Structure 1
Amino acid sequence: MANILYLGNSHPSTTSCHRANALRRLGHTVKIYDVDEMACRLAFSKFLEPIHFRTGYRFLQTKVVKWARRVVAENPETDLIWVNSGDKFGPECMAEFKKRGVPIILYNNDDPTGGRDGGRFNSLLASLPFYDLCVVMREVNVEEFKEKGAKKVLRVMMSYDEIIHKPFIDPADIPQAFRSEVVFIGTWMRHEKRDEFILKLINSGLPLAIYGERWEKSPYFKDLKHYYRGKGLSGRDYVAAIQGAKICLGLLSKGNRDLHTQRSMEVPYAGGLLCAERTSEHTELYKEYAEAIFWSDANECILVCKQLLANHKMRNTITAAGKQRANQNKNGNEDVCYQILKEVNLMERTDVQLQYIK
């Protein structure tokens, strides 16, 4: 198995860390360097982070190149470099990584060519020709990456984690604090109008529970704060909030050109009932009214939520079928990482036993 130099966020709550651990479960040796911590340290002040974010971290590149040179020198036995996100690395930095003479993979689950985040991905987009494989989540990104010089682009779906997101074996173990009728777990985003959508549901009489970052910035927060239970969740608390809700809302980011999200995978796998916007990708992933519930606007969402809350048997049937379909779809981190490594010929063995728990 391979020695993988993993450049991404190492915090246990992040999907970056989840993928690194999935690579370990596949039998690889993974050494993580926390890129976000590095960038924060090099920026000297957290108050400068928004400026670096909007300018694609270009003013940090001289320092990032020195950091990259040190990382390469410290890891002479590397077989593969896996870059998560890649927004901190410009061409000169990538040239340092290329000196190691091993395949370099980019995994990015954002939408770097979509423009929602301004100049955040400018350094990344200028560096695409340095990667041996770019992994993206959106079909539209494939040609856009190639137009910017990417050699090879693989499109995969977003993924749940086979260990982190496994449901409680006994639902009675879910703490009462995380139980709800209808839950939304996600960040408030300017221009996405998630607050307006949720407020319509609340005004219809639906009992909402909201978790996530930045909701206090919403102009409607005074009307939402009674339903706001706190900031983003992770680990078993996250699973408890999903499995402890009768209905889990799935909202998309139009700015990120989402047709499915991480929640689209995590909710059914974790034992929740996914109730999300109807898209071509959602209807490919799950059979409507059998494995998940979909809607096209707030009015339809209100209607289906009220139907579900009134029908315990329907909810349980759809939840169980959604969980089964999530397992069958094989969009777990181990499955996806295995697929990616095969693209760079680092998974010669075909008998690797994936570690997910059904």
Structure 2
Amino acid sequence: MIKNILVLGSIAGQTKQRVRAFQELGYQVDTVSDTALNHAPGINYQPTLLDRARNKLGFPADKFQINKQLLNKISKEHFDLLWVEKCLCLKPSTLKALKKLQPNLVLIWYSGDDMFARHNQSAYFRKSLPRYDLVVTTKSYNCNTNELPTLGAKRVCFVDKGFDKIMHAPVVVSEDDKEKLGAKVGFIGTYEAARARSVLYLAKHGIPVRIWGNGWKEFARTHPHPKLHVENKPIYDDNYQKAICATEINLCFLRKLNRDLQTDRTMEIPACGAFMLAERTEEHQRLFVEDKEAVFFDSNNDAELLAKVQYYLARGNERLVIARAGYKRCYRDDYTHEHRLRDVLKKLEAYD
């Protein structure tokens, strides 16, 4: 029976949400962070040229001595489960040594990224994959026999994205919040060419769009437009929550580089009680009833996107009804991290 869990991941980032969920489920949780505890990409962290080179070669630096920290902890304390969140510098030799120290230790890998894509991998990850008792992915296609299993994964299970009940909840926003963080139409996320094309299309047709996220600086420089408000920085935690709640239409673009069929914002926007306009996929349509709990558009159809934006900007009451229904769906079908983690552990028991 699993009681004590050691979580390895970016505790300053999304990992803290699942740590809190494990604790809510009644588990004793300890953590090891593979980033600084105030880690905020785009604000206080940028990878160096050496970092980029090492990552591209597949041998990222162990800047926080993760391998040593784990060996030290496991040698002194008992854990039933090591939950690893996309720590690409964790070495297979370390996993082997951990199992020698505690033979019954369960090893689970979790990532919200497409781990079959080479840019998300490392040599350490590929060599370690067969050592995990379970590999958890939020990318359904990673379970296909021609994907992660070909890299040596013994058991791969898919779970939908989830949301944090504290960080992703409706919040009252002040007029000051609306001015600093809100928008008629907003998008929070990293630059990608398809996303840039769509927001520029909206701007050229008179729609004001506010953008938060990394990687937009060059686009803003080469495509200035009075209707585009590119912040050139990401947004996190409380301000992220407020920005969603202060925005009339929250765009939910999917990451083509990761072959997304759903994303974190898929759950987080409706969980905040906000209106979501997202790319149409089978997974989105399974999670939310189209035009009732969320509104969708085809990825390559900017004209449809524009038409939906124009329609719902003019119909605040309809937006509110849909936003409320999306919020209710999040809780009715339990899209929380607690439910996702409970589901993973049930699947683990079934394998046993």
Short-chain TM bin: 0.7 to 0.9
Aligned position for 2:273: 271
Note the C-alpha offset of 1:64. Answer: 5.6
Aligned AA (1:92): S
Aligned AA (1:246): E
Of 244, 252, 255, the match for 2:254: 252
**Counterpart-to-counterpart distance in 2, 1:166 and 1:82:** 26
Aligned position for 1:314: 318
Aligned position for 1:208: 209
Of 323, 335, 340, the match for 1:336: 340
Do the aligned residues in 2 keep the contact of 1:211 with 1:229 (CA within 8 Å)? yes
Q: Deviations over 1:186-207 (max 9, x none)?
A: 1114xx4322221111111111
In structure 1, stretches of 5+ residues that fail to align are: 347-358
Note the C-alpha offset of 1:245. Answer: 0.8
Aligned position for 1:151: 154
**Counterpart-to-counterpart distance in 2, 1:162 and 1:121:** 32
Is residue 185 of structure 2 the alignment partner of residue 185 of structure 1? Answer: no
Give the match's secondary structure for 2:114.
Answer: coil
Aligned AA (1:250): C
Per the normalisation by structure 1, the TM-score is 0.85
Aligned AA (2:230): Y
Aligned position for 2:15: 16
**Counterpart-to-counterpart distance in 2, 1:147 and 1:20:** 30
Give the match's secondary structure for 2:8.
Answer: strand
Aligned position for 1:48: 50
* Alignment length (residue pairs): 332
Aligned position for 1:109: 112
1:109-258 equivalences in 2 (<5 Å): 109-115=112-118, 117=119, 120-143=121-144, 144-168=147-171, 170-171=172-173, 175-176=177-178, 177-189=180-192, 192-218=193-219, 221-223=222-224, 227-258=229-260
Q: Deviations over 1:133-166 (max 9, x none)?
A: 1101112101322222222211001111111111
Give the match's secondary structure for 1:313.
Answer: helix
Q: Quote the RMSD (CA, aligned, Å).
A: 2.5
**Counterpart-to-counterpart distance in 2, 1:122 and 1:214:** 26
Give the match's secondary structure for 1:294.
Answer: strand
Aligned position for 1:351: none
Do the aligned residues in 2 keep the contact of 1:68 with 1:96 (CA within 8 Å)? no
Report the CA distance shift for 1:174/1:259 in structure 2 as closer, same or farther (over 3 A): farther
Note the C-alpha offset of 1:340. Answer: 1.7
Do the aligned residues in 1 keep the contact of 2:185 with 2:247 (CA within 8 Å)? yes
Note the C-alpha offset of 1:129. Answer: 1.0
Note the C-alpha offset of 1:339. Answer: 1.5
Aligned AA (1:325): R
Aligned AA (1:253): R
**Counterpart-to-counterpart distance in 1, 2:225 and 2:73:** 46
Aligned AA (1:264): T
Note the C-alpha offset of 1:293. Answer: 0.8
Percent identity reads: 29
**Counterpart-to-counterpart distance in 2, 1:17 and 1:345:** 24
Note the C-alpha offset of 1:57. Answer: 2.1
Aligned position for 2:306: 302
**Counterpart-to-counterpart distance in 1, 2:261 and 2:208:** 26
Give the match's secondary structure for 1:223.
Answer: coil
Give the match's secondary structure for 1:227.
Answer: strand
Deviates more, 1:335-344 or 1:218-227: 218-227
Note the C-alpha offset of 1:69. Answer: 2.6
Note the C-alpha offset of 1:267. Answer: 0.4
Report the CA distance shift for 1:220/1:286 in structure 2 as closer, same or farther (over 3 A): farther
Note the C-alpha offset of 1:172. Answer: 5.1
Note the C-alpha offset of 1:33. Answer: 0.7
Note the C-alpha offset of 1:345. Answer: 4.0
Do the aligned residues in 2 keep the contact of 1:160 with 1:269 (CA within 8 Å)? yes
